[in-house]
Amino acid sequence: MGTSMIDNVLVFKTNVTDSVQVASLAEMLDTTEDIADWNIDFQDCDHILRIVSSGIETHAVIASLTELGFRCEELKE
């Protein structure tokens, strides 16, 4: 098994609020090859989605979440 460099953490503000929504989001995120890990911080008022990736583009994440009916906005660090 090869080693890939995972050096990109993308951070988004979302309107994902519950486990049912997370489950529908998980179907997409878990099957996207360039996503190594992800999580949603419900303790944060902006329901922050963090994605660890080896190459997915910000616009692709926003488009995918929008297609699923969620609001998604990149947060620049």
Q: Domain coordinates of the chain in residue numbers?
A: 8-74
Report d(CA 33, CA 21) in Å as an integer.
21
Q: CATH classification of 8-74, choosing from 3.30.70.100, 3.30.230.70, 3.40.120.10, 2.130.10.10?
A: 3.30.70.100
How confident is the model over 25-57, as pLDDT tens digits? 999 999 998 999 999 999 999 999 999 998 899
Report d(CA 24, CA 14) in Å as an integer.
14
Query: Is 60 exceeded by the pLDDT of residue 69?
Result: yes
| Chain center to CA of 67 | 13
H or E stretch at 24: helix 19-30
What are the φ and ψ backbone dihedral angles of 14, each rounded to 5 degrees?
-135, 175
